[in-house]
Structure 1
């Protein structure tokens, strides 16, 4: 876009004449940016100087004088919060609004002598929502009637839309005229039976603000349900075709639903899951079909997790991804196994091909309603649909529900870019623009605008499609705080009509142009309490780790990484007294996290105050913000930032031995698994998985990301048992941490296969405890508030948390449960007078634990004193 002039100071009220028309005296070509807002059919808003004597709209070579309408109404100001102080102007009735919207628009403000005070383009999303409100009720994309396809696309500003129909992606198209419904702005065409299986694009003639002229685009369908390889063309397929359904699909039995508070989630990337599994058929590695191979090591592990109590598999993005080639995939042109553990050569070699290789996390959506083709055995056409359903069916057959990671908050491209779809059909509508008319990019990429009616509609219908036609069981919303709360609640209502137990959660972070509800009430942590939609709990995460995910120096310690109890010598946490103060506050944050970050749960802080969770401080924000425990996703690692093993490598004292590192892995994972919230674990963390300290492995290739199932025996992936020490992490994300990474890669050893097996078995034990003990999934605020206590909170025993759960009167295997979380290097004794005289014993699962340290655990009934081993979470029951 052309450079934009500074914004004119806010208006104190311009004086203008009544509506008239005249030939334009200032060319719209002189206008820059898009600072005027056409907010409804009758109103344009502008931040204009009080010196303005005349404000005009230029459209179709004419000028239309706009009448001063004063300040925004209350309703307008709420709908356009960022611009609530703009002046408003009335559009003259004689203007053909629909016709004006098809061409270039400009608003010009002049002073009394005719001098131009402002000349700018116009943002049109508001007026489109008003004029074409009926479009919200239309069927868009591909529909079937009497076994014949019909195609419809919303393009209200287009001058013409035609259908390009191809028998194959490479064939010359036949062009079919599409007809516009002027009431809705929808263009449609009715097809023939023999169109099924053919490919298509839309030929759209539309004025585009990026070039300031009419452009003709050939563009895929944003509502596509199938695609050619590399997303070159949309494909006409019937999702109800039996050929696209695996045997038994229509009668698929879903795993029993669980309360959100009982959910245990395993987050995995489709390619990571199997690409390094040598027991997997080579042609299925990295594919949807890998999940169907029950004889493989990777699937066998997943079956073990499910048997132990895992309830959901969370798949990183699996819609059509802009940044993964589906046909020609590059490979690093070097032997990555040859280099030293702290060498920069591995990442340099991967960096040469990272834009063209087979790996990306996939947070770059291209077509939201089509499975990604690179994960199918054949990327060209509908095979991906069948194989995706086979994957869902296989996971369901294991007893696992399926969660899709969805990214509606941005697209990979906008404007005229190759990966722009929406913006080449309705320019300036589907993306959120700033005051100058530029696309906002606070999400990383091209921010979308779910606050606009037709993108809200798209998101809701997309969620319905995945829930209904692919039978997924949940969704995780990326950067959910960039969505309006109303949008997420509309999704919730829609998917729960299909499946009342559909699980919804997301990232409720509050930042960017929408922060603080600046544009609308957000779907953020502090607004979603009471909705049943969960948000990720960064409070417990940061308290367990120490510091935060964006620390320059990664060695800051926390409750689960040795703060005060085993200092790593970094000096980052101050002297011993400062460390103790930090540890006690971190323990308070862990406690409120263990009960699901309930706003109204009361606890005694390290300072001796009894406060509700909403008054416990987390960096100036309330630590407690939920109304029900299942509204918190409790986790200590995720795909973002360093994985748990790597965090511990940085933060634990380097002298901590391998088996004790495995124990610390287990203690930290227990904070998620044994919490009252939704338990969430990154795939492979139970195997001490490492990414060689990579903090953001979104584009780091298989080498840094693959789960090493064969513990260093997979020839292609070198001899690292878990992925640690396979080179310095990639410079494009982690170079700032290389000084600490190099030191850590040399000072810390990768775990042995025995230590990895120990870590795995301990996690399975914790899942069995959680799934067999109702105390860890009470499900309601009332039960948690009444039954869960921290009898030794306050100053208590530094570095140790004791939690009691009274299950009397409930239908459960145990009457009383006591949990002692001890990440310190020494065994501890914890006296709970209320337990004196009780018949407490070690949980049956721990009586057969692989960790011999639990033999030290015991209970003195006379004194009510528990003994718990070092670096362990110990559960006693009665």
Structure 2
């Protein structure tokens, strides 16, 4: 008997041990169940991702749960390596269609371990048109799907089944009000009521079912009247004091929250709730705010709050949220709390006395240079202070260089000065998501995908400098000071600052705007979900009075507080023409030389009418706004990401579009009214770098690709319009990424420093390319012929010459106001070996020396390849494959040329000409008189 008992106990122990062992090694799946009242699941999928990882589409399977048809999205352990703490994001959308309808709620996140556990797996439940992710299967009786005021006395709503007027109730505050005139069907009913009182909440209640026992309620939103004169007259605030107004004696806080039931101000000692630098008690001191005119809540605190941090607690009906002030001027780490700072104390020494480099205000006089803040200094070859790597202060640093063997080159800011740019265009430098500012001390964080590097196109706080670019993101004053130090240093070195701004969407629609005034700041689709014209899940509604005001206020703030002298608008076609004109006018009231330009396209389908979009077809309605010219880009270098050749690589069919770009892009779907509106470029942060594009689309040798690299931007720099250069193009920048199929990354927004950094070894290896970019920029600055200000001037002074071959483009510019009054530019793309072209007779009136010869100002082949420096009228010039050559006849030595501060004159140009086979090199130094002009900051 004892042996049997011992055996039973042993077996029981082994069984318990086995169960315990299995429990420790369980591999749980996650199942998300989705219910639609129409049961139409074939048209839907789910985009799912682990937190901070890439996503993928999941096709559902259908199953019966409690007698009803549901769709189930399976997230298997084998794919996601799931544990209880694994976080997922989900978007339920039209199948394989980012432009189609989607469920409301934007990016919704859930933690696996919070799900309903069944057989060791985690289960979640989502209902159609419901933003909640349930952990227990909810009831699915008929319901109201959407409800909003369509105008001031009409409500539009949708339901899951038919309704009758007798079953509808409308409660205004806590009083029932009459409804009449029901029209429509479940996919779109309307009902009339009294004129809406915007100060009170409205609730729609509908009784479903024959027995009248099932009722559904839904708050009626004001979505349909947000853009109306009725709403704007009640809540359109025109004051310039939203956000924080700080003095040592008093701080006043104002927030526009017109439909909120209450608002509280929370003042914290620390800027981050879990920060190791937030010592002790992290609770907030609360202050009740008072509702004033136009829905503005305010409170004043009579003490010096500098160094504190703040948020607002918003109550909208049954929902309560803690939010950051959209008008905050700084923040704590990761933008979780606004910072209360004394802006005057953030000014670097001499800030109020710096002089901004002179600029005419004619966009065509600019040399735009696009740069990510980290890229300039994140490679070891920068050789600046280690604590400035990837920071605003890194851009501000001068005196850096890199030596390799016998060669030493300038790096960082000195490199940009040497190149000769006039405007530095910074990729988004305001506070954005996707970089954890508490991890910046870990150098490995910047070496991994989705680590410390991000382009920054997912904004959170529009008026706050990005914390990861500061040396201390925990202190709200530091990032502000260091941004100003950068602007000051750039200005002292002859460069103006341009900001890439992303007002067309937010990184997370639920972060601030939507919690303060639900659906006001965003456009909605026909289903009531967030529209997705940006391709990121939401798009802002610039046509709404207070969103337009926010954009105008924001750019004016950057222009005044930071002396920013240019703004580039991401996905500008998502903004309406009126908004773009208003903000441009406001900026030019501050400084008429501020440049404004943007992308004249969207990232998806938008409900904003085409006639209102700031796009290619409406540029004539925005005469002071410029736009990126993809006609020029595609014609010169080919379509994106190595998918097609351009004229430079030998696609002669692009010749006509290249010529259109040379002439300032007239008579196309771009409705430009002057060459000041066309941003000419061949590469930008998006898509392959120029060197990578050429490599992917050409089998030519490196030596030939170098000629193409120079020629592509030589076309840009000698065309009518505004030249734009992607940082590093001047030294054949590449984005090598072993993780990519072809080893090159064309979309490096989250890749890492290792892919994105600028390596100054390139400058040594490709020194001739860099030198030629310098020469071309110097020539453009000095040569007014390349910067004609009107189409009338262009059509009068620029002549396209007949070359007899589509692989050769030549044009002549006669302009007596230029250094070289009579010029010919010739480009050969290599589809013809040696091309002989007769030169026309030069204009003798411009030839002071009386020598009837054409001379050479530039060639990308270099002076050593030519056998003489000049050629008489009537002779032929022989142009080699892939050569760009610029000739001039006479020189206007009496002309005074105005050029930026950092340029003391032209460096020697290569004087060269092909006329046969022998070689002779000749250098000619061109001396210029110049005038320094500066504009003092007010």
Bin for the TM-score computed over the shorter chain: 0.7 to 0.9
- Secondary structure of the corresponding residue to residue 823 of structure 2: strand
Quote the residue 2:825 is aligned against. 819
Quote the residue 2:694 is aligned against. 648
Matches of 2:549 and 2:567, distance apart in 1: 17
- Secondary structure of the corresponding residue to residue 749 of structure 2: helix
Contact 1:39 1:127 (C-alpha < 8 Å) held by counterparts:
yes
Superposition deviation, residue 359 in structure 1: 0.7
Match of 2:423 among 312, 323, 339: 312
Quote the residue 2:461 is aligned against. 367
1:247 partnered with 2:338? no
Instruction: Map 1:521-536 to 2 at 5 A.
Output: 521-529=612-620, 531-536=623-628
Contact 1:262 1:776 (C-alpha < 8 Å) held by counterparts:
no
- Which structure dedicates a bigger proportion of its chain to strand? 2
Matches of 1:510 and 1:231, distance apart in 2: 27
In structure 2, the CA distance between the partners of 1:46 and 1:627, relative to structure 1 (3 Å rule), is farther
Contact 2:374 2:389 (C-alpha < 8 Å) held by counterparts:
yes
Quote the residue 2:10 is aligned against. none
Match of 2:659 among 591, 595, 601: 591
In structure 2, the CA distance between the partners of 1:194 and 1:7, relative to structure 1 (3 Å rule), is farther
Quote the residue 1:639 is aligned against. 685
- Secondary structure of the corresponding residue to residue 317 of structure 1: coil
- Secondary structure of the corresponding residue to residue 262 of structure 2: strand
Quote the residue 2:222 is aligned against. 124
Quote the residue 2:600 is aligned against. 508
Contact 2:800 2:811 (C-alpha < 8 Å) held by counterparts:
yes
- Which structure dedicates a bigger proportion of its chain to helix? 1
Q: Deviations over 1:732-767 (max 9, x none)?
A: xxxxxxxxxxxxxxxxxxxxx654111111111111
Superposition deviation, residue 828 in structure 1: 2.2
Q: Which runs of 5+ in 2 are unaligned?
A: 1-32, 41-138, 272-277, 403-409, 737-743, 890-938
Match of 2:312 among 190, 202, 210: 202
Instruction: Map 1:373-772 to 2 at 5 A.
Output: 373-380=467-474, 381-415=476-510, 420-445=511-536, 446-510=538-602, 512-514=604-606, 518=609, 521-529=612-620, 531-546=623-638, 548-549=639-640, 554-563=642-651, 583-584=652-653, 586-598=654-666, 613-614=667-668, 622=669, 624-653=670-699, 656-692=700-736, 693-709=744-760, 711=761, 722=762, 755-772=765-782
Superposition deviation, residue 308 in structure 1: 5.3
Matches of 2:205 and 2:879, distance apart in 1: 73
In structure 2, the CA distance between the partners of 1:218 and 1:365, relative to structure 1 (3 Å rule), is same
- Secondary structure of the corresponding residue to residue 461 of structure 1: helix
Quote the residue 1:865 is aligned against. 876
Quote the residue 1:801 is aligned against. 809
Superposition deviation, residue 858 in structure 1: 6.8
Quote the residue 2:83 is aligned against. none
Quote the residue 1:224 is aligned against. 328
Quote the residue 2:384 is aligned against. 280
Contact 1:544 1:559 (C-alpha < 8 Å) held by counterparts:
yes
Quote the residue 2:367 is aligned against. 264
Contact 1:106 1:121 (C-alpha < 8 Å) held by counterparts:
yes
In structure 2, the CA distance between the partners of 1:453 and 1:797, relative to structure 1 (3 Å rule), is same
- Secondary structure of the corresponding residue to residue 699 of structure 1: coil
Superposition deviation, residue 708 in structure 1: 0.6
Matches of 2:225 and 2:34, distance apart in 1: 24
Contact 1:514 1:520 (C-alpha < 8 Å) held by counterparts:
no
Contact 1:53 1:111 (C-alpha < 8 Å) held by counterparts:
no
Quote the residue 2:14 is aligned against. none
TM-score normalised by structure 2 residue count:
0.71
Q: Deviations over 1:434-464 (max 9, x none)?
A: 1112112331323222122111111110001
TM-score normalised by structure 1 residue count:
0.75
Matches of 1:804 and 1:394, distance apart in 2: 39
- Secondary structure of the corresponding residue to residue 442 of structure 1: coil
Task: Name which of structure 1's ranges 860-869 and 376-385 shifts more when overlaid on structure 2.
Answer: 860-869
In structure 2, the CA distance between the partners of 1:761 and 1:454, relative to structure 1 (3 Å rule), is same
Contact 1:33 1:121 (C-alpha < 8 Å) held by counterparts:
no
Q: Deviations over 1:448-498 (max 9, x none)?
A: 221221111111100011000011000000000011111111110111111
Q: Deviations over 1:657-681 (max 9, x none)?
A: 2222111100011122222111011
Contact 1:787 1:806 (C-alpha < 8 Å) held by counterparts:
yes
After superposition, the CA RMSD in angstroms is 3.5
Matches of 1:373 and 1:772, distance apart in 2: 39
Matches of 1:792 and 1:119, distance apart in 2: 74
Match of 2:855 among 828, 838, 842: 842
Contact 1:52 1:112 (C-alpha < 8 Å) held by counterparts:
no
In structure 2, the CA distance between the partners of 1:109 and 1:449, relative to structure 1 (3 Å rule), is farther
1:179 partnered with 2:324? no
Matches of 1:844 and 1:832, distance apart in 2: 15
Q: Deviations over 1:140-169 (max 9, x none)?
A: 101146852100111122221111111223
Instruction: Map 1:30-45 to 2 at 5 A.
Output: 30-34=142-146, 36-45=147-156
In structure 2, the CA distance between the partners of 1:843 and 1:32, relative to structure 1 (3 Å rule), is farther
Matches of 1:859 and 1:5, distance apart in 2: 81
Task: Name which of structure 1's ranges 819-828 and 829-838 shifts more when overlaid on structure 2.
Answer: 829-838
Contact 2:169 2:179 (C-alpha < 8 Å) held by counterparts:
yes
Matches of 1:474 and 1:756, distance apart in 2: 31
Match of 1:192 among 302, 305, 309: 302
Superposition deviation, residue 518 in structure 1: 2.5
Matches of 1:324 and 1:66, distance apart in 2: 50
In structure 2, the CA distance between the partners of 1:816 and 1:766, relative to structure 1 (3 Å rule), is same
Quote the residue 1:137 is aligned against. 238
Quote the residue 1:327 is aligned against. 438
Matches of 1:589 and 1:113, distance apart in 2: 70
Matches of 2:484 and 2:264, distance apart in 1: 33
Superposition deviation, residue 232 in structure 1: 2.2
Contact 2:714 2:884 (C-alpha < 8 Å) held by counterparts:
yes
Superposition deviation, residue 136 in structure 1: 2.2
Contact 2:143 2:160 (C-alpha < 8 Å) held by counterparts:
no
In structure 2, the CA distance between the partners of 1:510 and 1:291, relative to structure 1 (3 Å rule), is closer
Matches of 2:867 and 2:37, distance apart in 1: 72
Q: Deviations over 1:289-333 (max 9, x none)?
A: 112221113875644544554111000000001111112148687
Superposition deviation, residue 864 in structure 1: 5.8
Aligned residue pairs total 717
